[in-house]
Structure 1
Amino acid sequence: MEKVLHSCVDCGTQNCKFKTRTYPEFCPTTHLKEEDRAWALERYDEGRNREIMIASAEVEFEGYCQWTRVQEIMEFARKIQAKRIGIANCIGLIREARMFARILQANGFEAYAVTCKVAGQAKSSMGIPQKCEQIGAAMCNPILQARLLNEAHTDLNVVIGLCVGHDSLFYKYSDAYVTTLVTKDRVTGNNPVAALYTAESYYKKKFFKG
């Protein structure tokens, strides 16, 4: 029988955070190879990675349980001297993207948005099954979104509601660092963690078969 590979989700102590408990025997921290630790630490000296880490930690501390994510993004942008903020949004969340842009501009930032349907490319022209056009003929174009924001020389890009997978492609092709403001969930009003909160009640039969 194949051995079960335990990971951090199987841990009940979280000693990596508290430092007053014991690590489980399968803990990645206790089995960490020094070369892996060193490799990760070396990466923080590449480019602006250390600056990003420090700014992120400061934002977490300074706004802990006080700032909304909208405000956190603005404070983070200030700390890394990001002036022009790119917005990669789902067209279904254009109102939210427009409001975010207004907030950015009211707080001294430039805002430049590219919506997902840019270019209006037909889904079928890319080999996407014809049936997918029943919910809209134009394909989402996250790679083009990234390219146009790159050409606009944005300092930081913010994702607002890109589809699962489309967001992955945007992250891959964006030159600027990317953070996410909104994660799309059409069922829960863009609150995907709601499905986790109700996974043992309302959604139990959907998630756990048999």
Structure 2
Amino acid sequence: MAEENLNEVKKKRGPGRPRKVKVVIEEPSNNAANETKKSFTQPLTCADCKVKACFNNEVGKYPSFCLTTDVDKDLLKHAKDIYLNDEIDKRLALTAAYVEGNFYGKYTRVQETIEFIKKFGAKKVGIATCVGLLNETSIFAKLLKQHGIEYYAVGCKIGAIEKSEIGIPPQDTLTKGEKYESMCNPIMQAKVLNAQKTDLNVLVGLCVGHDALFMRYVEAPTTVLIVKDRVTGHNPAVPLYTINSIYNKI
């Protein structure tokens, strides 16, 4: 956004809403008298916006707490410079825009991912998969082969390290210590794909937290094909859509 537009917005928007709100959380207990309360100050952010004026730079419609109107201009310039000057990041940004601009609302996530791989020009694609979704990974791999894309898939249980070896207690295992249970090993998945010198990686159903570990150690850019959610058939947005009905006690 041009600097003069930012200044114009700040003049027009007036006092508006506060920039921070106090949040009080009640923690129920068996004894109502023992209920505790926690409070903290929560800054208003994009999660509180109902306008989305930034989409088309609608001057005069930005809320008082808008992050765009108070953006750090130096950081914004730095981000833009990265898009313009970093070869990999520029390719990623332009490829993402190509997929969005041409297939948004037309292609499934699987189709978009394949188009992204092809347009990005990845020679070898890594797949970091949960072993519980090997069937889905196998189908995806066949599609990659049909499109002439080389891949290398690594399951989360690679190495078969028993969970207790890194200090995971029996009560935090699926079998509660009754059987040998291999830990998920996202760090090893990342290191294997790094050794394979993949150009782009795809995540298939890694557990919450294991995906974060993978991201910390992987070298090539990574996108997500499937987010695992056994309860909703791998559609984690379902509870958000039904928060006022069946999931109102989250």
TM-score range, shorter chain: over 0.9
> How far, CA to CA, are the matches of 1:134 and 1:15 in structure 2?
47
Report the CA distance shift for 1:66/1:125 in structure 2 as closer, same or farther (over 3 A). same
> How far, CA to CA, are the matches of 1:84 and 1:73 in structure 2?
14
Question: Do residues 124 (structure 1) and 154 (structure 2) align?
Answer: no
Q: With structure 1 as the length reference, what TM-score do the two structures score?
A: 0.93
The answer for the alignment partner of 1:173 in structure 2 is: 217
The answer for the alignment partner of 2:245 in structure 1 is: 201
> How far, CA to CA, are the matches of 1:187 and 1:171 in structure 2?
24
- Of residues 54, 69, 76, the one that matches 1:37 is 76
Report the CA distance shift for 1:134/1:56 in structure 2 as closer, same or farther (over 3 A). closer
Question: Do residues 163 (structure 1) and 202 (structure 2) align?
Answer: no
Q: Which runs of 5+ in 1 are unaligned?
A: none
Q: With structure 2 as the length reference, what TM-score do the two structures score?
A: 0.79
- Of residues 21, 25, 47, the one that matches 2:64 is 25
Q: Which runs of 5+ in 2 are unaligned?
A: 1-21, 23-39
Aligned-pair CA distance for 1:78: 1.4
The count of corresponding residues between Structure 1 and Structure 2 is: 206
- Of residues 116, 124, 145, the one that matches 1:84 is 124
- Of residues 91, 99, 108, the one that matches 2:139 is 99
Which amino acid in structure 2 is aligned with residue 121 of structure 1? I
Higher strand share: 2
Report the CA distance shift for 1:19/1:34 in structure 2 as closer, same or farther (over 3 A). closer
> How far, CA to CA, are the matches of 1:95 and 1:131 in structure 2?
29
59-68 or 91-100: bigger deviation: 59-68
> How far, CA to CA, are the matches of 1:3 and 1:122 in structure 2?
42
Aligned-pair CA distance for 1:76: 1.0
- The share of aligned pairs that are identical, in percent, is 43
Aligned-pair CA distance for 1:88: 0.4
Alignment deviations for residues 14-58 of structure 1 (CA, whole Å, 9 cap, x no partner): 100133361000000011121121121122222410111011001
Residues 123 and 132 in structure 1, CA contact (< 8 A), matched pair in contact too: no
Aligned-pair CA distance for 1:3: 5.0
Aligned-pair CA distance for 1:132: 2.5
Residues 55 and 79 in structure 1, CA contact (< 8 A), matched pair in contact too: yes
Question: Do residues 138 (structure 1) and 182 (structure 2) align?
Answer: yes
> How far, CA to CA, are the matches of 1:181 and 1:104 in structure 2?
13
> Quick one: higher RCO (CA 8 Å, sep 6+), 1 or 2?
1
Q: RMSD of the alignment, in Å?
A: 1.5
The answer for the alignment partner of 1:109 in structure 2 is: 149
> How far, CA to CA, are the matches of 1:197 and 1:144 in structure 2?
35
Which amino acid in structure 2 is aligned with residue 202 of structure 1? I
Report the CA distance shift for 1:15/1:134 in structure 2 as closer, same or farther (over 3 A). closer
Which amino acid in structure 2 is aligned with residue 109 of structure 1? I
Aligned-pair CA distance for 1:169: 0.9
Which amino acid in structure 2 is aligned with residue 23 of structure 1? Y
Aligned-pair CA distance for 1:133: 3.1
The answer for the alignment partner of 1:12 in structure 2 is: 50
